[in-house]
């Protein structure tokens, strides 16, 4: 077993064993420390994947469209021809690192603060299980394995929302978070059913579940590809989420505890967009080409509708949740163009949204923890009482409105550029509308800042302690620095992605 | 040091100063209730410690801000001196598919000149702010100027503008362009005593952002067409006429937003809610200058499309007159200057429309000097009398002689009194328009006529409102007897005095070949590059109009020195004062419909889209409940149902058996 294969296993095994260890350690605080250490080790392993990546020369004269740096291919259930096939390449690696980083930050944050509702130990264990599921989804190179990991995430996330979510312990609050959790679980389960059917349509037609072999769609007839793409794209559209299949998201994000929202928005949604690029587009390119205009229209609808809803939104976390609909619309628009520019834009948009929205949810959580309200009408004058928190909120909002020079810019601007590049009145129209969506995004985020930070301090903000806790600073600083670093040096994300995206686009032609 | 390195360091130095400055500690404001509650020795020492820490932070912030601006100025001057021809250096930043984004500088004489102007104004503003944003002995407790973030944001603002100036890539230019926008947002909202400041800041960013939608799309069109966003590649590529016209018009939207041109000019007067040094910064060499500068940067593209130039010409003429007329009726001294900026930028875009980037840049430079001077002098007046309203000023000539004479120079330059700077540069614009109306330029002749005539009318109106401002503020009797105005303290005085020198003399630099060569480098390769200085019989026409404007204002004031000459406008005055109510139009046509649309979409999204999802869930549950009820039947019915089922299955089996 090479070092790379060892690392691939470690990335999944460390958090899985960590979760078990956390559950086994009886003392709450010690368990949380163990969990945080496991998350940190996972991040180290994830980063190390980059260090000794192999060449591609092993692949002969016609290289496949997916060329993992490391891969591990073991028989798993020989009777059903299931294989345990993992691999990492330039498309998945940034997301793997982002997942490991956000989980570490969430675990670290939980060392300091556990939301009311359950034990911190259980929360950290669940976070690690969620991490295993997400990382497995990004690493799987076997369709069935991909589906399995995709499903692993669902129940622990449901438990996090229902167990630690909401604010308040009165019956109405409990009922609200139960409802949100149920909606999340059932809605995405509905998507999963489609995914399962899609996976088996592909596997049955092609006779293999190996993503490397399937990418390019050469083994599938056009009709199978159309059917498979529709099924898979619908499943991923629920997860991403694509308008109009998004309505589970605002409730889930609003009710989830801070760490839950961060993981939900930061990486869970990326499973949808990643699956769309790797599985749906890769396996059924003819289907993708056929459905691209529809996807483009829905993406732009998501941008505009998400932004307009945010303009009329009155609750802090709900506003940020809805902003995800708009931002993911840009990512989906990039994918819909099916050009190298667009897919690269989608990849960096994914990572940037994870960083920035993760930060926004952390900040919104901090504000709600302090004031016990998220109503924009009750919050004002934050910059008077808590200048640091207010400054960070302003930074995150500015990053979220895709200010050039910060991470969010590349994904959104180049989704528009990719649409322009696609040419023709249809895509140009989509580009124009998406660009206007960018202006609307600025409008609602500045409205948010104006309500929350400016003006005289409101009643709930008067007695606020101005300082920030060390754990808060520790959790937020990496995200602030990354938002700046990815903005100034997009190569951090796209340097590794350029070659695999090129290879993928080659097979789309 | 190589030229390219100088160019790269130019924005980097203030950027570093700004980023470090943002990390400085900021003590939270102590509210009155807090202070009342704090009793005992510990609390007092705690508070003294906080104030002490704040003053240390303030000193560091001052040092960083001034050092950043001074460093940038030194670099810009070094660049101007050492640059002996266009220079270009770039490296790949990132590749998106087949599109290359580069990280690089593109330097020429014009860029160096503008960079010097930017850095000089920034330095003046940094120094001036030390004195201007300081809690005086008579200020109430509520005043809190939070100096460290302020100075850092000014540094970032400077860095962003310098990035626009030196950038060799359209995406990089966009970075500077938008960062400048967000810095203006932060700085306009700085003053927490003004309730209207946050709204004005938001308006400034959003109106320019709407223009930037066009700017981004224009850049995308050009970059996609050329396969690269590097300015040199974009200019060298042979774009189709349609692409060029579309991209040009889209870029104009961005230019209109940033440079406050009709119809996206509405943010600029409101931006006066920012502290006065910020107004000087935004109005003089940065932000509003960026749009004009961006057009000169991409000039060959614009020169090839008469349609775009015609649109630009109409926009410029409307803006020029609109701004000048609105300036006549304002009572707020800063708003007079703000509208005059709108109008003067109209002259610059007018010069561009008639095909003369050097004339536009020349006016940009002189305007940077005299407008910065005027704002800082106005700031000294405001600082002294505690109001921005001219109706409460008057008679300040003897109390504030330094400020008075500096304002005279600034207003003279603004109105175009020879030999002050504005006279020569405005003359350049009018001469370029004259050339164009004779048909020798890239723009249609009618555009030349339009710009020429509106420019001439503008001269008279400008002279009128400049005279009014001077008379209302410095002459006559003091209208606020309680005020004891005085010339400003040193940090406010020196920037004003030093800016008076270029405001007076910069125009004469047009006779200096070294200077004109650099300015003309913006039109390199243009056959028959236009002359910059024009001294001919036609000079008499604007001079006559100038005298007319001054004379009318003077005559009106002489009749009654206490009355406002603007009263002569009669019923037009409220119309002008509200700038033809375009703000209301914008509010009614854009802001309110958008808000209503947002509410509607939210309702539809919650009731219909989400309603369908929850409705499906509820429906499934009802269906399940119904089926459950059916199964909970009493024994006789259940037995009957069972037998019926058996019968059905048996029948089906029999049928299938019979057919097969």
Chain B contact for A455, CB < 8 A?
A: yes
- The alpha carbons of chain B give a radius of gyration, in whole angstroms, of 31
**pLDDT at B535 exceeding the cut of 70:** no
Chain A contact for B314, CB < 8 A?
A: no
What Cα–Cα distance (Å) separates residue B255 from each residue in B264, B287, B344, B568?
9, 10, 15, 35
For the record, the structure tokens of B265 come out as: 């000019």
pLDDT of residue B145: 58
d(CA A29, CA A111): 7
pLDDT tens digits for range B576-630: 888 888 888 888 888 888 888 889 888 888 888 888 888 888 898 899 998 888 7
**Domain boundaries in chain A?**
3-508
**pLDDT at B534 exceeding the cut of 70:** no
Question: Are both B590 and B483 inside the same structural domain?
Answer: no
Yes or no, beta carbons of B26 and A387 under 8 Å apart: yes
Percent of chain A past pLDDT 70, that is, above it, reads 97
pLDDT tens digits for range B227-267: 899 999 999 988 888 999 999 999 999 999 999 898 888 88
**Burial (CB count within 10 angstroms: exposed 0-12, middle 13-18, buried 19+), residue B140:** exposed
**pLDDT at A316 exceeding the cut of 80:** yes
Domain presence at residue B587: yes
User: For A142, which DSSP code?
Assistant: B
**pLDDT at A15 exceeding the cut of 90:** yes
Chain A contact for B97, CB < 8 A?
A: yes
**pLDDT at B181 exceeding the cut of 70:** yes
Domain presence at residue B396: yes
pLDDT of residue B31: 43
d(CA B554, CA A305): 57
pLDDT of residue B4: 86
Chain B contact for A435, CB < 8 A?
A: yes
**pLDDT at B528 exceeding the cut of 50:** no
Q: For B310-416, where are the E strands, in sequence order?
A: none
pLDDT of residue B34: 44
pLDDT of residue A58: 46
Question: Are both B610 and B528 inside the same structural domain?
Answer: no
**pLDDT at B286 exceeding the cut of 70:** yes
pLDDT tens digits for range A273-298: 999 999 888 888 888 999 999 999 99
pLDDT of residue B178: 92
CB atoms within 10 A of CB B25: 13
Chain B contact for A309, CB < 8 A?
A: yes
Look-up of token digits 């998004």: A246
**Burial (CB count within 10 angstroms: exposed 0-12, middle 13-18, buried 19+), residue A445:** buried
Region A408-428: mean pLDDT is: 92
pLDDT category, A54, cuts 50, 70, 90? low
pLDDT category, B221, cuts 50, 70, 90? very high
Region A357-365: mean pLDDT is: 93
Question: Are both B338 and B234 inside the same structural domain?
Answer: yes
pLDDT category, A63, cuts 50, 70, 90? low
Q: How many angstroms away from the CA of B199 is the closest CA of chain A?
A: 8
What Cα–Cα distance (Å) separates residue B352 from each residue in A287, B355, B602?
50, 5, 45
Question: Are both B446 and B551 inside the same structural domain?
Answer: yes
Domain presence at residue B42: no
d(CA A60, CA B219): 41
Mean pLDDT lowest among A2-6, A32-36, B316-320, B522-526: B522-526
Length of chain B: 660
Question: Are both B470 and B602 inside the same structural domain?
Answer: no
pLDDT category, B523, cuts 50, 70, 90? low
CB nearest to A344's CB, from B96, B198, B595? B96
Question: Are both B449 and B594 inside the same structural domain?
Answer: no
For the record, the structure tokens of A382 come out as: 């934050």
For the record, the structure tokens of B164 come out as: 């626009």
Length of chain A: 509
**B41-50 long-range contacts, Cβ below 8 Å, gap at least 24?**
none
**pLDDT at B482 exceeding the cut of 70:** no
d(CA A182, CA A169): 18
Chain A contact for B634, CB < 8 A?
A: no
Which H helix or E strand runs over A172?
helix A171-206
Mean pLDDT lowest among A294-308, A484-498, B476-490: B476-490
Yes or no, beta carbons of A183 and B174 under 8 Å apart: no
Chain A contact for B193, CB < 8 A?
A: no
pLDDT category, B637, cuts 50, 70, 90? confident
**pLDDT at B631 exceeding the cut of 80:** no
pLDDT of residue A351: 93
Yes or no, beta carbons of B178 and A403 under 8 Å apart: yes
Q: Please state the domain count of chain B.
A: 2
Yes or no, beta carbons of A421 and B99 under 8 Å apart: yes
CA angle B539, B544, B547 (to 5 degrees): 130
Region A64-69: mean pLDDT is: 79
Chain B contact for A386, CB < 8 A?
A: yes
The pTM (predicted TM-score) of the whole model is: 0.91
Question: Are both B473 and B587 inside the same structural domain?
Answer: no
d(CA B471, CA B390): 10
pLDDT of residue B3: 84
d(CA A340, CA B99): 10
Region A445-459: mean pLDDT is: 87
CB atoms within 10 A of CB B4: 18
Mean pLDDT lowest among A475-484, B23-32, B305-314, B451-460: B23-32
Question: Are both B586 and B557 inside the same structural domain?
Answer: no
pLDDT of residue B30: 47
pLDDT category, B483, cuts 50, 70, 90? low
Percent of chain B past pLDDT 70, that is, above it, reads 91
pLDDT of residue A62: 56
Kindly report the average pLDDT of chain A as a whole number: 88
Residue predicted with more confidence, A117 or A192: A192
pLDDT of residue B348: 93
Which candidate, B240, B237, B106, places its Cα nearest to that of B167?
A: B106
d(CA A98, CA A135): 10
Q: Which chain A residues contact residue B216 at CB under 8 A?
A: 413, 416, 435, 438
d(CA B269, CA B200): 9
Mean pLDDT lowest among A132-136, B91-95, B401-405, B562-566: B562-566
Chain B contact for A450, CB < 8 A?
A: yes
pLDDT category, A4, cuts 50, 70, 90? confident
Question: Are both B180 and B230 inside the same structural domain?
Answer: yes
Question: Are both B605 and B467 inside the same structural domain?
Answer: no
Q: Which chain B residues contact residue A439 at CB under 8 A?
A: 206, 209-210, 212-213
- Cβ contacts of residue A92 below 8 Å, gap of 6+? A138, A139, A274, A278
What Cα–Cα distance (Å) separates residue A248 from each residue in A182, A299, A477, A480, B604?
9, 17, 30, 28, 15
- Cβ contacts of residue B330 below 8 Å, gap of 6+? B336, B339, B577
Chain B contact for A462, CB < 8 A?
A: yes
pLDDT of residue A43: 94
Question: Are both B302 and B440 inside the same structural domain?
Answer: yes
Question: Are both B514 and B613 inside the same structural domain?
Answer: no
**pLDDT at B391 exceeding the cut of 90:** no
CB nearest to B224's CB, from A311, A405, A417? A417
User: For B286, which DSSP code?
Assistant: S
Yes or no, beta carbons of B192 and A418 under 8 Å apart: no
Region B363-389: mean pLDDT is: 89
- Cβ contacts of residue B381 below 8 Å, gap of 6+? B333, B393, B396, B400, B403, B407, B473, B485
Q: Which chain B residues contact residue A494 at CB under 8 A?
A: 94-96
Structural domain of B612: 580-617
Yes or no, beta carbons of A394 and B93 under 8 Å apart: no
**pLDDT at B36 exceeding the cut of 80:** no
pLDDT of residue B46: 56
């Amino acid at each position: 077993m090479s070092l790379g294969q060892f690392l691939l296993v470690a990335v999944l095994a460390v958090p899985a064993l960590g979760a078990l260890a956390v559950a086994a350690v009886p003392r709450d605080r010690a368990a949380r420390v163990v969990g945080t250490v496991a998350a940190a080790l996972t991040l180290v392993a994830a980063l190390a994947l980059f260090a000794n990546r192999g060449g591609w020369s092993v692949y002969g004269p016609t290289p496949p469209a997916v060329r993992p740096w490391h891969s591990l291919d073991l028989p798993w259930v020989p009777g059903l021809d299931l294989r345990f096939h993992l691999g990492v390449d330039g498309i998945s690696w940034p997301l793997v690192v982002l997942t490991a980083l956000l989980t570490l930050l969430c675990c670290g944050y939980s060392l300091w603060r556990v939301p009311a509702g359950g034990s911190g130990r259980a929360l950290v264990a669940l976070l690690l299980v969620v991490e295993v599921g997400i990382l497995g989804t990004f690493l799987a190179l076997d369709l069935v394995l991909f589906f399995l990991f995709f499903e692993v995430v669902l129940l622990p996330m449901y438990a996090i929302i229902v167990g630690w979510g909401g604010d308040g312990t009165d019956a109405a609050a409990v009922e609200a978070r139960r409802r949100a959790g149920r909606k999340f679980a059932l809605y995405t389960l509905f998507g999963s059913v489609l995914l399962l059917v899609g996976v088996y349509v592909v596997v049955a037609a092609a006779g293999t579940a190996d993503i490397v072999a399937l990418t390019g769609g050469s083994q599938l007839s056009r009709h199978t590809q159309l059917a498979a793409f529709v099924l898979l794209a619908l499943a991923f559209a629920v997860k991403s989420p694509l308008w109009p299949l998004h309505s589970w998201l605002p409730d889930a994000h609003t009710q989830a505890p801070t760490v839950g929202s961060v993981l939900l928005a930061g990486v869970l949604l990326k499973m949808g967009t990643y699956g769309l690029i790797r599985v749906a587009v890769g396996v059924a390119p003819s289907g993708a080409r056929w459905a691209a205009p529809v996807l483009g229209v829905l993406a732009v609808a998501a941008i505009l509708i998400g932004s307009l809803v945010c303009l009329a939104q009155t609750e802090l976390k709900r506003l940020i949740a809805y902003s995800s609909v708009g931002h993911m619309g840009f990512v989906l628009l990039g994918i819909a163009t099916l050009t190298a520019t667009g897919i690269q834009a989608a990849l960096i948009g994914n990572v940037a949204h994870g960083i920035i929205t993760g930060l926004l949810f952390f900040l919104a959580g901090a504000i709600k923890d302090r004031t016990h309200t998220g109503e924009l009408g009750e919050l004002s004058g934050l910059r008077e009482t808590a200048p640091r928190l207010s400054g960070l909120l302003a930074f995150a909002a500015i990053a979220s409105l895709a200010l050039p020079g910060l991470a969010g810019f590349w994904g959104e601007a180049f989704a528009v550029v990719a649409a322009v590049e696609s040419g023709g009145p249809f895509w140009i129209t989509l580009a124009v509308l998406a660009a206007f969506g960018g202006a609307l995004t600025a409008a609602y985020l500045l409205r948010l800042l104006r309500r929350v930070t400016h003006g005289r301090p409101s009643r709930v903000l008067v007695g606020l302690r101005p300082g920030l806790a060390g754990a808060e600073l520790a959790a937020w600083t990496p995200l602030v620095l990354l938002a700046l670093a990815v903005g100034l040096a997009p190569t951090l994300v796209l340097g590794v992605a350029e070659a695999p995206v090129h290879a993928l686009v080659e097979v789309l032609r | 040091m190589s030229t390219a390195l100088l160019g790269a360091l130019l924005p980097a130095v203030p950027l570093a100063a700004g980023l470090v400055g943002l990390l400085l500690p900021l003590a939270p404001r102590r509210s009155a209730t807090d202070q009342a509650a704090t009793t005992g020795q510990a609390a007092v020492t705690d508070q003294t410690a906080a104030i002490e820490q704040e003053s240390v932070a303030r000193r560091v912030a001052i040092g960083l801000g001034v050092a950043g601006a001074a460093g940038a100025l030194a670099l810009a001057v070094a660049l101007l001196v050492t640059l002996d021809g266009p220079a270009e250096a770039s490296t790949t930043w990132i590749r998106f598919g087949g599109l290359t984004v580069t990280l690089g500088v593109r330097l020429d004489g014009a860029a160096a000149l503008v960079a010097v102007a930017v850095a000089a104004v920034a330095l003046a503003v940094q120094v001036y702010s030390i004195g201007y944003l300081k809690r005086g002995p008579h200020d109430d407790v509520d005043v809190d100027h939070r100096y460290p973030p302020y100075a850092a944001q000014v540094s970032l603002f400077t860095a962003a503008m310098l990035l626009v100036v030196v950038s060799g890539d359209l995406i990089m230019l966009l970075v500077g362009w938008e960062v400048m926008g967000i810095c203006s947002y932060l700085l306009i909202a700085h003053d927490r005593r003004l309730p209207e400041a946050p709204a004005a800041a938001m308006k400034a960013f959003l109106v320019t952002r709407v223009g930037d939608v066009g700017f981004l799309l224009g850049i995308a069109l050009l970059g996609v067409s050329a396969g690269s966003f590097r300015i040199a590649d974009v200019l060298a590529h042979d774009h189709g006429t349609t692409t060029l016209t579309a991209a040009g018009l889209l870029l104009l939207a961005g230019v209109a937003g940033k440079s406050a041109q009709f119809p996206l000019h509405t943010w600029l007067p409101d931006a006066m809610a920012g502290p006065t040094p910020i107004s000087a910064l935004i109005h003089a060499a940065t932000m509003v200058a960026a749009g004009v500068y961006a057009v000169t940067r991409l000039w060959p593209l614009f020169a090839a499309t008469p349609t775009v130039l015609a649109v630009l010409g109409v926009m410029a003429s409307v803006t020029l007159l609109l701004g000048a007329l609105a300036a006549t009726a304002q009572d707020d001294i800063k708003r007079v200057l703000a509208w005059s900026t709108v109008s003067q930028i109209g002259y610059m875009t007018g010069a561009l429309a008639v095909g003369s980037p050097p004339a536009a840049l020349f006016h940009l430079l002189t305007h940077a000097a005299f407008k910065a001077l005027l704002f800082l002098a106005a700031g000294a007046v405001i600082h002294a009398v505690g109001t921005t309203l001219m109706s409460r000023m008057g008679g300040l000539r003897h109390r504030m002689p330094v400020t008075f004479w500096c304002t005279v120079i600034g207003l003279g330059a603004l109105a175009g009194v020879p030999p002050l700077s504005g006279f020569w540069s405005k003359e350049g614009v009018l001469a370029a328009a004259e050339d164009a109306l004779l048909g020798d330029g890239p723009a249609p002749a009618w555009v030349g006529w339009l710009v020429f005539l509106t420019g001439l009318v503008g001269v008279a109106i400008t002279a009128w409102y400049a005279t009014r401002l001077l008379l209302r503020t410095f002459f006559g009797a003091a209208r606020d007897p309680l005020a004891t105005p005085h010339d400003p303290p040193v940090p406010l005085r020196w920037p004003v005095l030093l800016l008076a020198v270029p405001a007076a003399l910069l125009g004469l630099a047009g006779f200096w070949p070294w200077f004109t060569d650099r300015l003309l480098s913006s039109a390199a390769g243009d056959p028959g590059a236009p002359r910059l200085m024009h001294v001919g019989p036609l000079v008499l026409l604007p001079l006559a109009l100038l005298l007319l404007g001054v004379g009318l204002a003077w005559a009106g004031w002489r009749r009654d020195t206490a009355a406002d000459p603007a009263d002569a406008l009669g019923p037009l005055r409220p119309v002008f004062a509200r700038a033809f109510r375009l703000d209301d139009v914008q509010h009614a046509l854009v802001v309110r419909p958008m808000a209503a649309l947002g509410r509607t979409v939210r309702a539809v999204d919650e009731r219909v889209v989400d309603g369908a999802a929850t409705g499906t869930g509820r429906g499934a549950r009802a269906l399940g409940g119904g089926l459950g009820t059916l199964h909970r039947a009493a024994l006789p019915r259940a037995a009957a149902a069972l037998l019926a089922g058996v019968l059905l299955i048996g029948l089906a089996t029999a049928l299938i058996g019979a057919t097969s």
